[in-house]
């Protein structure tokens, strides 16, 4: 066994401390130490996007970030975003549009979508949505239903905020 290091961080609003091996990436830390298995490991080289989580407000690849680097950070995972209700409208639209099949990419898709919708102050075009999702691989849907769902939420959020 190699040496471990202590880390303290907030995960989904809860304070957490742990001893971790420096080599352990954040996705494995969330999955193995905290049983937050909604963060999926699909490639472990930063390509597929299934491990996408939020770190200090920005989305990052869980497999390309070390757990020790998350010391002091605030991490939000699909579990936290679901339970807070923050992405409930996105989830509902994904459900309506059947924008997921096997569901393995879906947590990463949803976390990425939450950032897209937060950082653009108008309804994105389909091309813009596709571009923002360019780092999230889905083998099942062909992406169209995902794009439909996201545009639908964007429109609903705009009309909600206009009234």
Partner 1 sequence: MKPGAFGYRRAESAEDAVRLFLEVGEGAQYLAGGQSLMATLNFRVSEAGTLIDLTRIESLKGIEQRGNAIHIGALTTHASVARSSLVRKRLPLIAEAYVHVAHPAIRNRGTIGGSIALGDPASEMPACMLALDAVIHANGPAGKRSIPIDDFYLGLYETALEEGELLTGIEIPLPAEGARHGFEEIARRHGDYAMAGLAVMTTGRRARMAYFAISDRALRSTAAEDAFVSGASPAECAEVATREMYVFGDLNASENMKRHLAGVLMRRVLLSLDGGASA
Partner 2 sequence: MTLTKYDRPNSYIGSRVPRPNITRLMAGRGKYIDDKSLPRMLHVVFVRSPFAHARIVSIDATAALAVEGVASVLTGRDIVDVVSPWVGVLTHLSGMRSPPQPCVATDTARWQGEPVAMVLASSRAIAEDAATLVDVDYDPLDAVCDMEEALEPRSPLIHPGYDSNLCWERKVEAGDVDAAFADPANTVVERSFDFGRHTGVTLEPRGCVCEYDPAEDRMTMHYSGQAPHMIQVVLAKHLGIPEGRVRVISDDVGGSFGIKVHTYGDEIAVAGAAKLLKRPVKFAADRLESFQSDIHAREHRVRVKAAINGEGLLQALDVDDITGIGPYSVYPRSSGIEGNQVINLTGAPYRIPAYRGRLRVVFQNKVPTCQYRAVGHPIAMAIMEGVMDELAKATGCDPAELRRINLVPDDAYPHVSAQGMKFADLSHQKCLAKLLDLMDYEALKQERDRLRGRGVYRGIGIVSMVEVTNPSPMFYGVGGAPIAAQDGASARLDASGALHVASSITEQGQGTDAMLAQIAADGFGVDLDMVHVKTGDTAVVPYGGGTWASRGAGIGGEAMLQACKALKAQVLEAAAAVLQAKPGALDIFRGAVTDLDGTERMTLADLARMVYYRGNELPAGLSPEFIATRHYKVSDVPFVFTNGAMASYVEVDTDTGIVKLLKHWVVEDVGTIINEQLVDEQIRGGVVQGIGGALYEECVYSDDGQLLNASMADYLVPMSVEMPDIEIAHVMTPTSTSELGAKGAGEAGTAGAPGAIMNAVNDALAPLGCSISKMPMSPERILRALGTVD
Residues that bind partner 1 (CB under 8 A): 2-3, 5, 21-25, 28, 44-46, 49, 52, 58-61, 63-66, 68-69, 112, 115-116, 131-132, 134-136
Query: Least distance to partner 2 from the beta carbon of 130, Å?
Result: 4
Are 108 and 30 contacting, i.e. CB atoms less than 8 angstroms apart?
no
d(C-alpha 141, C-alpha 163), whole Å = 34
Residues 123-142 that bind partner 2 (CB under 8 A): 126-127, 129-131, 133-142
* Separation CA 100–CA 46 (nearest Å): 21
C-alpha 97: how far from its chain's center? 19
- Nearest distance, CB of residue 2 and partner 2, angstroms: 9
To the nearest whole angstrom, how small is the minimum distance from the Cβ of residue 39 to partner 2?
7
Nearer to partner 2, 72 or 83 (CB): 83
> What are the residues whose beta carbons fall under 8 Å from the beta carbon of 95, sequence distance 6 or more?
none
């Amino acid at each position: 066994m190699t040496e471990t290091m202590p880390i303290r961080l907030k995960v989904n609003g809860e304070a957490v401390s742990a001893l971790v091996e420096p080599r352990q990436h954040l996705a494995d830390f969330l999955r193995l130490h905290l049983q937050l298995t909604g963060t999926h490991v699909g490639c472990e080289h930063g390509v597929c996007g299934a491990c996408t989580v939020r770190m200090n407000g920005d989305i990052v690849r869980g497999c390309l970030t070390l757990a020790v680097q998350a010391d002091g950070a605030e991490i939000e995972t699909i579990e936290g975003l679901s339970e807070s209700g923050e992405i409930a409208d996105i989830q509902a639209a994904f459900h309506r549009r059947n924008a997921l099949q096997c569901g393995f990419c879906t947590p990463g898709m949803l976390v990425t979508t939450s950032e897209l919708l937060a950082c653009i102050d108008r309804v994105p075009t389909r091309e813009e949505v596709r571009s923002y999702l360019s780092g999230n691989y889905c083998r099942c849907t062909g992406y169209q239903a995902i794009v439909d769902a996201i545009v639908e939420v964007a429109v609903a959020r705009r009309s909600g905020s206009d009234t």
